[in-house]
Amino acid sequence: MSEKQKQIDAHNQAMAEFIQMANGMVNDKGFDMKLVSAAMMAASGVYATFTAAGNDGFLSSGGVERVADMYKKNLAYIQERKKEELEAKGLTPKPVAELQGQASGEPDKQ
């Protein structure tokens, strides 16, 4: 197995574990799904900052832009794969978040 394939497999395993943990928070602990999604995004941002700058640093505005661009590209890639998956099942994909106006990733404001 190539080193690249090992990295892909490790990435997929880590992602699956995060999703399993999130599902447990929703299904077993009763957390709201949108809250868990927003918390995962926040945790990812905190960890991305730590990875780039350590505990004693923070991202400059340019660093924030680079991380945000990575998130945007990754999310676009995920959506294309999801659309292809649905089409392969003979379904007509619909961009639901755009229809419902809930693409912000932030918890609902009270």
Q: Name every residue whose Cβ is closer than 8 Å to that of residue 98 and which is 6 or more positions away in sequence.
A: none
Could you tell me the pTM of the whole model? 0.76
DSSP 40-83: HHHHHHHHHHHHHH-TT----HHHHHHHHHHHHHHHHHHHHHHH
Residues 40 and 18: beta-carbon distance below 8 Å:
yes
- Token couple for 94: 């619909």
Predicted pLDDT at 99: 55
Q: What is the mean pLDDT of each run of 10 residues along the chain (110 residues)?
A: 96 97 98 97 96 95 95 96 96 77 49
Predicted pLDDT at 100: 56
